[in-house]
DNA sequence: ACCCATGTTCTTTG
DNA sequence: TCAAAGAACATGGG
């Protein structure tokens, strides 16, 4: 789940549940998700008050009252939750922070354990250290065109590259390319200014729509390609209506791999590059 | 039992 | 230096 819209949704949840409260305890159930030694993390956060939240791409920041940041990255299967008593902790809770006022614990949930918890001195320092580009909601059309036009690489892996712009993941890139009517194997430097502008508009549309629906895919507009992905079973059972293009009811969505990632397109909307 | 998976990072190969 | 492909990570779910 955790691409930019999910992480933004998690951030808002943390903002509701935890901001203004002091961290009174740290419970590490599985140190695998820690990118800093447990002792160091404990010293850094216990007794600190959470003063705010932030986000850059797929990274969520908890701002502490000493100016430092607790940074959460959710990997492929990470989630955030809250619980009152230990027996009620969500399944796959790996780390939990005890909050002072509400009696709640904030849970870092991650079945597959690709997520990571880190500390940073500032968002800027973290962005530099991790070589992250501008957030996908912040990048301008001109910036996007300039970055894409210098690369002779398929546009899909370029958009997935967090150093170009941060926050886009596999399904969002497919959705963006579908909305912009661009084939994922077009080369970055082959895109016209018009196409790059369409790409930029599609990024804004897809991200804002997803955030508005709190990343609940089933509620996305019928015009979205996401309903064609196999794991979306929102189509009527017993039919395969969801395997057709939203714009072309008779054209089947195609699945293939680009850069090793499952990729879905409408062959009518997104013509393959010549040659 | 086998295959697939929303992310990141490293290695290998050209 | 660049680009592409593959693997590794750890695990659940279909």
Chain B nucleotides reached by a protein CB under 7 Å = 4-9
Total-model pTM:
0.93
- Answer whether any strand C atom is within 7 A of the Cβ of A29: no
Q: Which residues of A are tagged catalytic?
A: 2-3, 58
- Residue A237 burial (CB count, 10 A): 5
Q: Do A52 and A19 meet the contact criterion of CB atoms below 8 Å apart?
A: yes
Confidence check: pLDDT of A238 > 70: no
Q: Please name each of the domains of chain A with its CATH number.
A: 4-130 (3.20.190.10), 141-265 (1.10.8.50)
pLDDT of residue A230: 58
Confidence check: pLDDT of A240 > 50: no
- H helices of chain A, in order, are 4-18, 38-45, 123-129, 141-149, 155-160, 170-180, 193-212
pLDDT of residue A231: 47
Query: CA–C1' distance A259–C4 (Å)?
Result: 8
Closest protein residue to C4 using CA and C1' atoms?
A259
Q: Which nucleotide is nearest to A130 (CA to C1')?
A: B8
Angle, alpha carbons A8-A14-A15 (nearest 5°): 85
- Answer whether any strand C atom is within 7 A of the Cβ of A237: no
DSSP states of A68-137:
-EEEEE-TTT-EEEEESSGGGPPTTEEEEEEETTT--EEEEE-TT---EEEEES-HHHHHHHTT--SBTT
Helix (H) / strand (E) element for A29: namely none
Q: What is the tens place of the pLDDT at every residue in A177-199?
A: 999 999 999 999 999 999 999 99
Q: Is A269 exposed, middle or buried (0-12, 13-18, 19+ CB in 10 A)?
A: buried
pLDDT of residue A215: 83
Q: What is the tens place of the pLDDT at every residue in A17-66?
A: 999 999 999 999 999 999 999 999 999 999 999 999 999 999 999 999 99
Closest protein residue to C8 using CA and C1' atoms?
A114
Q: Which parts of the protein come within 7 Å of strand B, by CB position?
A: A 1-3, 6, 57-58, 73, 75-77, 112, 114, 130, 160, 162, 169-171, 231, 261-262
**Within its chain, how far is the Cα of A65 from the centroid?**
26
Mean pLDDT, chain A, integer: 91
Query: CA–C1' distance A130–B10 (Å)?
Result: 15
Chain C nucleotides reached by a protein CB under 7 Å = 2-7, 9-13
């Amino acid at each position: 789940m955790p691409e930019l819209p999910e992480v933004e949704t998690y951030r808002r949840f943390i903002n509701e549940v935890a901001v203004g409260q002091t961290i009174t305890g740290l419970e590490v159930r599985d140190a695998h998700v820690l990118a800093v030694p447990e002792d160091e993390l404990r010293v850094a956060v216990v007794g600190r008050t959470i003063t705010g939240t932030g986000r850059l791409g797929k990274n969520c920041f908890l701002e502490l009252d000493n100016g430092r940041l607790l940074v959460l990255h959710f990997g492929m299967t990470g989630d955030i939750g809250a619980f009152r008593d230990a027996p009620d902790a969500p399944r796959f809770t790996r780390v939990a922070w005890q909050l002072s006022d509400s009696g709640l614990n904030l849970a870092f949930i991650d079945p597959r354990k690709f997520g990571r918890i880190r500390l940073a001195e500032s968002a800027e320092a973290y962005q530099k250290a991790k070589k992250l580009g501008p957030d996908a909601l912040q990048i301008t059309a001109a910036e996007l065109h300039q970055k894409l036009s210098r690369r002779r690489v398929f546009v899909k892996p370029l958009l997935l590259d967090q150093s170009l712009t941060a926050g886009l993941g596999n399904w969002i890139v497919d959705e963006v390319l579908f909305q912009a009517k661009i084939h994922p194997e077009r080369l970055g430097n082959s895109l016209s200014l018009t196409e790059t502008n369409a790409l930029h508009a599609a990024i804004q549309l897809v991200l804002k729509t997803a955030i508005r629906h709190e990343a609940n895919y089933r509620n996305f507009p019928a015009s979205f390609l996401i309903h064609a992905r196999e794991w979306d079973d929102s189509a009527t059972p017993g039919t395969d209506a969801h395997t057709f293009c939203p714009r072309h009811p008779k054209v089947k969505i195609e699945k293939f791999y680009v850069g090793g990632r499952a990729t879905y397109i409408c062959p009518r909307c997104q013509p393959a590059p010549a040659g």
